[in-house]
Amino acid sequence: MRVIAGKYRGRALQCLKGNAIRPTPDRVKESLFQILEPRLRGAYVLDLFCGSGALGTEALSRGAKAAVFNDASKESIALASKNLSFVAETVRFSVLDFRVCLARGGEFDIIFADPPYREDLAAEIQTLAVRSSAIKRGGLLVYESEREEEPQAGWTLFDRRSYGRTKITMLERSDP
């Protein structure tokens, strides 16, 4: 696994071992970040289920100003911290349940949510992000799962892509 483009292009990222870990494939990351490119410059991003930190690192490499890397697993946060040792931008790490992380707010421009596929969390994440003001109006929630997700109250569909088993749903915060 590596950083695909930007100022950290080509940097290797380590990944946790095991069947429960499912890193986003490079071809999916490349397509996703081509879509997000215009919104990345100076963005404040949250990698909510960060795992190795690959999505947040890619965002930083392509122009995001700062990132918060969150995961409920201490092992994942330790790996993400190690993977981000070369990054010059502002980064913060938290070992929290995603609900607690979102409840803290933060006014993010982009939230990456790549929970375990067996979890059905899209609606709950949308609701919590709006209720807590974790995302700015006009901000994006990028949700990765095995199925296409639908926007809840306060969201509109920005884009949707399918890459075999992987489905990316991009939702834009629409309410005031």
Closest of 63, 76, 74 to residue 13, by C-alpha:
76
What domains are there in the chain, each with its CATH number? 26-173 (3.40.50.150)
Beta pairing class for 44-47 and 108-113: parallel
pLDDT in tens, the chain (176 residues): 899 999 999 999 998 876 556 778 788 999 999 999 999 999 999 999 999 999 999 999 999 999 999 999 999 999 999 999 999 889 999 999 999 999 998 899 999 999 987 888 999 999 999 999 999 999 999 999 999 899 999 999 999 999 998 999 999 999 75
Tell me the CA distances in angstroms from 70 to 32, 111, 113, 142, one per residue in order.
20, 11, 10, 15
Residues in contact with 142: Cβ distance below 8 Å, sequence separation at least 6, in sequence order = 32, 36, 55, 110, 111, 112, 113, 168, 169, 170
Phi, psi (rounded to 5 degrees) for 103: -65, -25
Q: How many residues does the chain have?
A: 176
Report the Cα 151 to chain-centroid distance in Å. Answer: 17
Question: How much is the pTM?
Answer: 0.94
Enclosing H/E stretch for 61 = helix 54-61
CA angle 131, 132, 135 (to 5 degrees): 100
Q: Is 113 helix (H, G, I), strand (E, B) or coil?
A: strand
